[in-house]
Amino acid sequence: MEPAISNLNNPSTPPRLLNPPPDPPHNQSLLSAPANPAPAPAPKPQPDDTPLDIPPPPVVDNAYRFHAFIDRINLRQWSLLSASFHPRLRYNHTDVSLFQLTTLLRDEFAPKTGAQVDVVALVGGRGDAEGVAARLRVRRIVRGERVYCGSRGEAREYARHMVLGWEGEKIAVVFDVSEDEGPGRILPLPGLRPPPPRVSVDLQAFYREYLECINEGRMDGELARFVKDRVVWNGTAMEVGQYAGLMKSSFEAIQGLEFKAHTVLVDEDRQMLTVRIEFAGTPVKPYGGAIPNGKPVSFAEHAFYWLEQSRISDVLTIIDWEAYRVQMG
């Protein structure tokens, strides 16, 4: 067997290891060599090829711009309203300045009221030209004359229907109608909806024919073509004949009354219609809490319609009774 150390018979020759350790660096002796050399640097992490779950940016259309406007109200960002509104602005048929509109909103939504606005339903707003119709819930706190420590006041809410038009990506026209404020909750939207019909219905044409049926006095024989046998109007379920009676009473109270669709916005997928209806005529009977004065009136209604199998099943509507009563004196 080969010995581990050679030159055993020659003591003058130092023993030689068959596998000597490597020489230390020229500037380092064996005694000064570190017992535990520094670990090698960790390898750099390689880029992960897994795609990041980043949501796409929102579509900036008029629906998005309307939500931004409501957010500015809730955040009391009055100085930013100029980003939402066109310099030439009409509010309920009246030319107003941005300063006037800002003052109106600032007073209504003062911090002490605790008022907040929620968008309950919205139709339209696709692209930069289509208008928007929205059903809003306004909540605020009403406090008495004496507010004690810890008093929270009375919470109230009311519904508000807005119909807006755009010009150059900014709101240029606002039609704003509110219901009377009350301590209860506003009426909820209809529940689960059936799928849209397989055969698509032109909702714009549907509504034009619906109004023709009303204005031409053909409701007794034809209204059932447009309205289900049982319809829910402002939370009240009624037969189609009772629903027709609501409109007949309007014709009896206002001579020469005509229903005119000012704005019609549709959502085919959800089978929804939102309409600003404008009325004109001369009241001849007490109506809407006012006594006729012999003068003609004009007022409006903002209505949301839901359809089932191509017929109206639910209606949520607000009539501008304030404008009507003001004209009656």
CA distances from 195 to 83, 204, 313, 314 (A): 38, 19, 14, 15
Q: For residue range 87-101, what is the model confidence (pLDDT) as tens digits?
A: 999 999 999 999 999
Q: Quick check: 46 pLDDT over 70?
A: no
The pLDDT value recorded for residue 13 is 47
The pLDDT value recorded for residue 155 is 82
Confidence band, pLDDT 50/70/90 cuts, at residue 9? very low
Q: Does pTM surpass 0.85?
A: no
> Which of residues 58 and 274 earns the better pLDDT score?
274
Domains and CATH numbers, the chain: 62-144+151-178 (3.10.450.50), 203-328 (3.10.450.50)
The arithmetic mean of pLDDT across residues 230-250, rounded, is 97
Contact 193, 218 (CB under 8 A): no
Q: Quick check: 173 pLDDT over 90?
A: yes
Find all residues with CB under 8 Å of 284, minimum gap 6, and list them: 253, 254, 255, 292
Q: Quick check: 35 pLDDT over 90?
A: no
The arithmetic mean of pLDDT across residues 199-215, rounded, is 94
CA distances from 289 to 7, 119, 323 (A): 128, 30, 12
Buried b / exposed e over 296-325, threshold 16 CB at 10 Å, is ebebbbbbbbbbbebbbbbbbbbbbbeebe
The one-character DSSP state at 18 is S
Percentage of the chain lying above the pLDDT 90 cut: 70
